[in-house]
Structures are given as structure tokens and as C-alpha cells.
A and B are shown apart, each in its own frame.
Chain A
Amino acid sequence: MSTDWFQTSRLTQFRELLERSDVALVLTAMAAFYLLFLGIGAILNYDVAGLISILGQVTFFTAVYALIVLALNLHWGYAGLFNIGIAGFMAVGVYTMAMLTAPPTGSPPGLGLPVVVGVVGGMLAAALVGLVTALPALRLRADYLAIVTVAISEIIRLTYNSPAFSTFTLPGGIALGTGGASGIGTFPSNPIQAVYYVDPSSAASGATPIGAAIFGFFEAVFGVVRSAVIVDLTYGLVLAVVVFLVYTLLARVGNSPFGRVLKAIQEDEVVAKSLGKDTNRFKIKTFMLGCALMGLAGVLWQGFGTGAVYPQAFRPELTFYIFIAVIIGGAGSNTGSVLGGAVFANLLFLLPQYLPNIIEQTFSIQADPNNFIAAVGPIAAGEIAPLLGYILNQRLPALRFVFVGVLLIYLMQNRPEGLLGHRTETAAAVDLSEGHTPGGRTGSDLTAPDERGVDDE
């Protein structure tokens, strides 16, 4: 009996920690996801390199989703701008970066500038396109803004897709290009490769001293010799640091006078205006900052992550993925954004990719019919395997979309504020509300809520 009581009390303590500390919440969630995917790797009999690779994937997708969701949260959660053109702004960032840095001799040719120039240029370009969008669009109602932004994102994608700009010459005689429908394949290599390899574009060129030390460490401790796996894991960890930096930046912005005006606009725009705040300027600046971060996310995700850029990657589906992640996390909360991104990336994006392998290994399903009638026909004869085979081998990606859609409907009907949307942001730096009792505490605990009001992003 006494150990039971002890455990429950530990559990309560832990829950209170999670409610109080954002960092603990995020770390616990990530630990759970790592464990889940290590378990999946174990079921699928992966070797150590495979396990590290799966961990690298989890880190990468969690980080990129967290990053882009944070950027969208700045638009939607902070400034109340319903932007559904995210894919377009990501495309501007990554395409600008690719066109600035691709070698002039490549096909399509680029300007051959250093990677840093490319990244900054990509962010600036995305911010500029954001400005061009925001200047007129902010006059519009929320639903019109939605339609305009999705139209702009499609215009951007179709422009990159068009053969008209696949290669063109600037007035100074410098050739440049978007590559049309096939995109740009000569994307600068992942910066981690530049640190680990002598020649960044080839693993065969041999390792730099840093690379040799890291590879040696992994070989000695885990017996892993595939260096690509280690590069990916390192890149994922670097991205996690980037997410942390962006999170800190946004937390600072949110708590600065600028952020307080944003929160005031959220509460009541007329009041903010009557206090002499030029609310449109604030919104435009926020929109541009969010767009720059979307450009950065585009570079880090579609660019360095994939190693090539092509227009089809920026279909509106990508935008809606990110929106669903924001809604899961609850708009307006930065921690919620990171968690929403993590939940979406791991449970809705990565997990379904491993699910068929696990089920097939467990139940050994051989049937693989290529159309629906062939799949359901045998059910009359009592055979369910063809249907399962059809679902698992042919149509799982489609069903994932269906599930995502149904989830979105469910959230809108039951929790429009998001799974973690109960976390409130107060406009004042000090909590002024009476009887402010977060997490079901009693009013007697008066000191903690104040701290919470400040930390709570």
C-alpha cells in the first residue's frame, strides 16, 4: 500500500513539474518519442547504425516542424494573421538560397556565392515577399487574407515551375535559373558535411580532423562505420539548437514592448489603435519576421535536408500540414508550437512510414492487390488479407491524409483552441487577473502563478 501511495505522489509531482516547466514538458515529450522510435527500430531488427539513423530522423523532422510552426504561430497566434501561403514563403527562401549559391557552371546556373550569403539572402527575400503580400492584404478580412495568401503561394510555385525562368540572363550578362519543373539539383551540401569531410560534396574524400574524431568515437563506442548516419544525426542536433535559438528570440519578442502591443492587438485592436499604436505597422513587421523564419525553415528543411529543390515540394498540402501542427499545439503558445510540431512530425508523419513494415512483419501479409475491387472481392470468401495488403502496401499514405483531415475536423468541433490551447498569454508583464489559478491549483498558492504568467509562452 505504502509504495502505491509513494508512486502516485511521485506521479503528481511529475505532472506538476510538467505543468510548471515548459522545458520539462518538451524534454519529456521528446524522450517519449525517442523511446517509441527506438522500440520500432528494435521490432524491425535494426542494427545500431539503423537505430542512430532513426533517431536522426526523429530529431530532424521534429526540429524542422517545430521551426516552421513557431514561425506560423508568430503570424497566427501573435498577430492574428491567417496566412495559408506558408509553402510559398518557404519556396522563396530555399529557391533564393539555391539560386545565390549554385555554381555558375551548373545546370541551371547560379551565382556561386557563399552559403551564408545564400541563407541570409533567402530569409531577406522571403521577408520581402511577405512585405509585398502584407502591405495590401492586411486591409482584408481574415477569410479573404486566407484566399489571397494561398493564391500567392500558388503563383509562387507556378512561377518556379514555369519553363520561362528555368534559365534566364540578368541585365549584366549573368545567367541564373530556377530549373523549371525539375528544380535545382546542385544545392550546396549540408554544412555538417563541410565540417566532417575534406570535400563537402563527397564522403569518399576523407574526414577532416573533427570528422575523424567524431567518426572514431562512434566506431569505438557503437561500432558504427556509416558516416552518413552520423552526419544526419549531427544535422538534426544542430537544427534542435536553431529551434532553441528561434524559440528564445520569439520569447524575447513576445515579452518585449513590441510583443505586448501584439498581444494587445489580439485582445482588442481598436483599443490598441486608440492608444496611438499604428497596429498595421506592427502587423506588417510581425508578418515579415514570420516570413523570414519560414524562408529559413525552407532552407534548413527542403534545402539542406533534401539536398535538392523542386516546385512540387511546395504544394499547398505542405501548408496544411503545418497548420494542423499549429492547431494541435494551440495557436498563441510557443511551447505549444514546438510540441505540436513534434507530435505532428513523429506521430502523424514518421510513424505511418514505419507502421506497414511492423504490421507486415508481425502478421506476414503477402497479398498486394493493385485496386480496390481486387482487395474487397475476396472478403466474400472470408479472406481479409488482400484488403489489408491493399491498405498497407498501396494506400497508407492516402489514408494518413484522410486521418489528418478527420483529426482537423475533430479538433475544430471539440477543441478549437488546440490540445494545449488552454495556455494563456497575458498582455501585461505582471499577471493582473484576480484568482489566477492555472493547472487547477488553489488560490492560496499565490507566488507560483506570477512566475508562471511570465514563463508561460
Chain B
Amino acid sequence: MEPYARGRQLLNDQPGLAIVAVAALLLVGDLFAKLLGGGLTATRFGGFVWDGLVIGLLIGLAGIGLSLTYSILGFANFAHGDYISWGAFSGWAVAYLLAGIDRYAAGGLLLIGAGDGPAPGDVGVSITNTPLSIVAGLVVAVGFTIGVSLLIDRAVYRPIRDADGITLLIASIGVAFALRYLIVFFFYSGRQGVTDISRVPAYEIGGVVINAHELTIVVIALVLMIGVHLLLQRSKLGKAMRAMADNRDLAQVTGIPVEGVIRTTWILGGGLAGAAGYLVVLTQGTIAYDLGWLLLLLIFAAVIMGGIGSVYGAIVGGLVIGLASRLSLIWLTGDLSSFAEPVAFGLMIFVLLFRPEGIFGGVSTA
């Protein structure tokens, strides 16, 4: 009778959570019914899962930095999305330049086709056609975003390091505005094509179509995540970060170089945000000045779900959010498909209400 008693206690203590759990069970049951009854083919289901994994990995990648800065500096960085956008624009400017420099003027290429610049189909950027330019772009995206995040920390956050979380949050909204519209100033405000979609080979694995760009994203994202894992496990950095998230003053008197750890945090978080932004464009095929901002709420959702401060939580949270937003399309068909994003936001609100320490119980793993 033990599980029964626990169930009753849950129902009494957190009726909302119980309702959410029942709803989740019903959905899973319905999913099996659909799969078995033929309402949903395994191929279609596999396609949703694959899409969800790709976007989930990117959200998780970007979420690592947000999660670390949130716990160590104590504020929700609303500018994180715009670090992502700058990563995308800086990286693709270079990728475009390298791919087309033999045929077109450097100016139009550097601005990723602004004004009368060359069209994506003519430049022909894709992982199989111009692999070197793609890799170079990724490196630049990471490096540039690290530079931006360090510069902004020095100019904006460091002078008000000890301010309360809301003051820092508002300052980060200011940073977000400035960064986002500097992109518009240098580049453009619309959405433009970047990759040459016609030259991206696709493979069919078990009925699910997987294109080369998605495969690239998965490989790079996994490599970066394993790198972060090793970095935090093999060095004292992870421990120092946990100590700082717990109590910055105490960490300082223990001899932890506080400013140094903060700088490393920005390097890590900024670099991963830049990579994520660059890779998002690789899967979408288009670039827009507000692409990071549009992702930011999903990233917040992932970070909160995984527990603020937890690197692995951010990754798992990203996968959950990515999968949830894509799998919701099984039920949200036709006109309702525009509700995939609100579903992810709704999930985040539920987590905040019923388990604000994250689904993994607030175990900070850094």
C-alpha cells in the first residue's frame, strides 16, 4: 500500500502536480494508441523525434552558458539570446566570405548578402560543398561571441557586480536591445536565406530523412558538450563554480580567484552561445537579427527545467523542451500547429510553479 499512500499524499500536497502528471500519462497513452492504431506512422513519429533532438541539442548547448551565469552571477541574463544572434552573424559573415571570395566582392559577402549582395544559391554554402568555410565560420562565431561577452561583462556587469538580481536583469535587457539592434545597424532587419539548401544531401535512415546539416549539428553539439564535461570534471573549475554559486564571499576568502572564475564562465557560456547561434542557422537555412531572442524563452525553459546552475540539467532540459515542442505537433495539427512554442512556454511555467528547483531536484552539478 506504500505507493498508494504516497500517491494520496501527492494529491493532497500538490493537486496541480497530480493533474499535470495525469495529463502527461494520458498523452503518452494516446501516443501509443495512435502509433499502434495507425493514426501516426512510425516514420512521422521518428521525424518529430529527430527534429526535436536537433533543436533540443542546440537549446541545451546555448542553455549551458545561461545556466552557469544565472547561478554564479545571480541574474537571468536576457541578453543571452543576442549573444546567440551575434554568434550567428559573425560566424556566417566569415563562412560566406570564405565560400564566395573567389567570385564576389568581399563587402557583400561580409554582410551576408545585405543590400545587393550575392544570393545564397550563388555562394553555395553547405557542409558538403564548402566544408572548410563552415568550420572556419564556427571558430569565428565562438571566438567573436567570447569577445563580446567578455567586453560586455567588463563594461556593464562588473561595475554593478554586487547589485541585486533585478538591477542586473534590467541592465541585461539594455544589453539585449543594444546588441540586437547593432546587428540591424550593420546587417539587416529582415530574414534572409544563407545556406544553399539545394546542395545539402539527405539520407534516409529507417524511413526518417536526415540531412547532412542536421548530422553536422548533432556531431558538433555532442563534441562540445563532452568537452565541457571533461573541462569541468578534470579541472577544479567546476568545483570553484559550485562554490561561487553557493556563496561568492565565502568562495573569495577560501582563495578562489572570483573574477577569474567569472571570466571563465563567460568564456564558456559565450563560446557555446556563439556556436549554438551559428548552428541554428545551419539547420534553419535562414538568418535573422532576432533569432536568438526568439530562442531565449525556450532556453530559459530548458535551464529552469534542468535546475539553474546545472550543466547536465541544461542539456537534458534542452532535449525535453526540443522534443516537447516537436512532439506536441502530433496533437496540434493543421491551424493548431502554431501552438508548438506556447506549449514549451507552458511547460516552463508548470515547472516553475510545481518544481522551481528543476525536475532533477536542484542537484547542482556544474
- A residues with a Cβ closer than 8 A to B are 82, 136-137, 139-144, 146-148, 150-152, 154-155, 158-159, 161-164, 166, 320, 323, 327, 369-374, 377, 395, 398-402, 404-409, 412-413, 416
Contacts and interface: CB of A to CB of B under 8 A. Distances in A.
A398 B356 contact: no
Contacts of A398: 181-182, 184-185, 189
A395 B175 contact: no
Nearest to A159: B342
A400 B116 CA distance: 25
A155 B182 contact: no
Given A148-B352, A373-B111, A395-B184, A402 B178 contact: yes
B116 A401 contact: no
Nearest to A396: B185
B174 A405 contact: yes
5 closest residue pairs by CB, A with B? A408-B174, A405-B177, A371-B115, A405-B178, A373-B107
Given A82-B166, A148-B348, A150-B297, 11 more contacts: A143-B75, A147-B300, A151-B348, A158-B338, A164-B335, A371-B188, A372-B185, A373-B114, A374-B107, A402-B182, A413-B156
Nearest to B289: A398
B24 to A, nearest CB: 18
B160 interface: yes
B205 interface: no
A413 B181 contact: no
Contacts of B115: 369-371, 373-374
11 contacts: A143-B75, A154-B345, A155-B346, A164-B334, A371-B116, A373-B110, A373-B114, A374-B115, A377-B107, A405-B181, A412-B174
Interface string B70-90: 000001100000000000000
A153 B114 CA distance: 32
Contacts of A136: 16, 349, 353
Interface in B90-129: 107-108, 110-111, 114-117
B334 to A, nearest CB: 8
A143 B349 contact: no
Nearest to A374: B115
A140 B352 contact: yes
B192 to A, nearest CB: 12
Nearest to A144: B352
Contacts of A409: 156, 171, 174-175, 178
B175 A371 contact: no
Task: State the main secondary structure of chain A at its contact with B.
Answer: helix
Contacts, number: 154
A279 B266 CA distance: 39
B165 interface: yes
A405 B117 contact: no
Contacts of B334: 164
A370 B116 contact: yes
Interface in B146-199: 156, 159-160, 163, 165-171, 173-182, 184-189
Contacts of A404: 174, 177
B85 to A, nearest CB: 13
A327 B176 CA distance: 17
B159 to A, nearest CB: 5
A148 B165 contact: no
Contacts of B159: 413
Nearest to B342: A155
A227 B177 CA distance: 39
B219 interface: no
B304 interface: yes
A136 B336 CA distance: 26
Contacts of B117: 371
B114 A323 contact: no
A323 B336 CA distance: 32
Q: Which of A139, A144, A151 is most buried by chain B, counting CB atoms within 10 A of its CB?
A: A151
Nearest to A320: B173
B331 interface: no
B185 A399 contact: yes
A139 B353 contact: yes
A31 B349 CA distance: 46
B111 A372 contact: yes
B76 A147 contact: yes
B214 interface: no
Given A402-B178, A416-B163, A146 B76 contact: yes
Given A158-B342, A327-B170, A372-B111, A405 B175 contact: yes
A320 B177 contact: yes
Nearest to B339: A162
Q: Which of B115, B173, B334 is most buried by chain A, counting CB atoms within 10 A of its CB?
A: B173
Nearest to B76: A143
B338 A162 contact: yes
A369 B117 CA distance: 13
A408 B171 CA distance: 6
Contacts of A152: 345, 349
Interface string B207-247: 00000000000000000000000000000000000000000
A152 B350 CA distance: 12
B160 A413 contact: yes
Contacts of A395: 184-185
Contacts of B346: 155
A399 B181 contact: yes
Q: Which of B186, B304, B336 is most buried by chain A, counting CB atoms within 10 A of its CB?
A: B186
Nearest to B346: A155
B297 A151 contact: yes
Q: Which of A154, A372, A405 is most buried by chain B, counting CB atoms within 10 A of its CB?
A: A405
A143 B75 CA distance: 8
A318 to B, nearest CB: 13
Contacts of B168: 412
Interface string B272-301: 000000000000000000000000010011
Nearest to A321: B177
Contacts of B188: 371
Contacts of A161: 338
